[in-house]
Amino acid sequence: MKGMKLLTRMARSFVAGDNVDDALKQVQKLKDKGIMVTLDILGEAVEDKPMCDKAVQDYLDLLKKLAEVKSEAHISLKLTQMGLAIDDEYCTQNMVKIIGLAKKSGRFVRIDMEGSDVTQRTLDIFYRLRQQFDNAGIVVQAYLHRTEQDVRDINALKAKVRLCKGAYKEPKEVAIKKMKAIRVNFIKLAEMLFRKGVYPAIATHDSKLIKWTKAYTAENKIKNSDWEFQFLYGIRNKTQRKLAEEGYRVRTYVPFGTHWIPYFYRRLRERKENVFFLTKNFFKR
């Protein structure tokens, strides 16, 4: 019990709270610093239909709340939270409800990418949704061998892409394992998105990639209004503020809710720097 309480307290570094009111307080703090926000209700790998139905309703309620308070926040979600493990058609129709309501208030929805076992199904549903909605985007992961072709396909659709390294444990047959090689592929994919994509979202905490992105966009005279940096809530806060002060568009992915354990452990596993960050900030309290 004590161990779980400790983990819960530590997870607060990466999770904005248990409910939407908690999250909106953090949204306002970020807005005051010139930082935009994407909200995510934590949850994934749901195999129970009533739980999926509740997750859908939670997102519909969130959209209504954001419209009430006139927040410009985007939302993001995982398809395994929306019923992908149950049935593709059921999942798609749940997404139609959410993206349809978001469109009414001019709000953007980002579909998160999960493990490689659902990458193709996630893209298939995204492509289907794009035929009906232009306010939906997708995430691609630079460590997957397949992502270069996926980026070509998505660019052809003129859809918005969030490029990240990837945080799921994958075999070498599926994913690049060495960090140096992942960086090289990230840069290659970013160049593809800047040249032929639509409003790329460069999602990284890696100082080398941040430095490269700033240099590349300056050298190629790419306007700051045509792309944005994205970060995870609770990581590299000073860097986020500094970039915003320098005139870059910065967006923070703000997760909230009670289903935080899988998310929390991925954050610790993906990079050792996250463990150091968490420990340092926890014991400052």
CATH number at residue 145: 3.20.20.220
Structure tokens at 108: 């953007």
* Tally of domains in the chain: 1
Q: How far apart are CA 96 and CA 22, in angstroms?
A: 27
- Cβ atoms 232, 201 nearer than 8 A: no
What confidence score (pLDDT) does residue 282 get? 44
- Cβ atoms 28, 35 nearer than 8 A: no
Q: For the chain, how big is the Rg over CA atoms in Å?
A: 18
The model carries a pTM of: 0.91
Amino acid at 124: D
Measured CA distances, 234 to 3, 14, 51, 272 (Å): 21, 5, 28, 15
Tell me if residue 162 is catalytic: yes
Q: How far apart are CA 222 and CA 227, in angstroms?
A: 8
What confidence score (pLDDT) does residue 10 get? 59
Tell me if residue 61 is catalytic: no
What integer is the mean pLDDT of 133-154? 98
Mean pLDDT of the chain: 90
104 phi/psi in degrees, rounded to 5: -60, -30
Predicted confidence band at 244 (pLDDT cuts at 50, 70, 90)? very high
* Predicted confidence (pLDDT) at residue 11 exceeds the cutoff of 70: no
* Helix boundaries (H) for 15-135: 20-32, 49-68, 88-104, 119-130
**Catalytic, out of 12, 130, 162, 249:** 162
**Catalytic, out of 112, 150, 249, 267:** 112
* Predicted confidence (pLDDT) at residue 27 exceeds the cutoff of 90: yes
- Cβ atoms 226, 199 nearer than 8 A: yes
Predicted confidence band at 44 (pLDDT cuts at 50, 70, 90)? confident
Range of the domain at 101: 2-282
- Cβ atoms 115, 108 nearer than 8 A: no
* Predicted confidence (pLDDT) at residue 59 exceeds the cutoff of 90: yes
The more confidently predicted of residues 191 and 17 is 191
The neighbouring-strand residues paired with 135 are none
* Residue listed under structure tokens 């009430």: 68
Predicted confidence band at 5 (pLDDT cuts at 50, 70, 90)? low
Q: Hey, is 121 helix, strand or coil?
A: helix
What integer is the mean pLDDT of 75-96? 97
* Residue listed under structure tokens 């593709």: 88
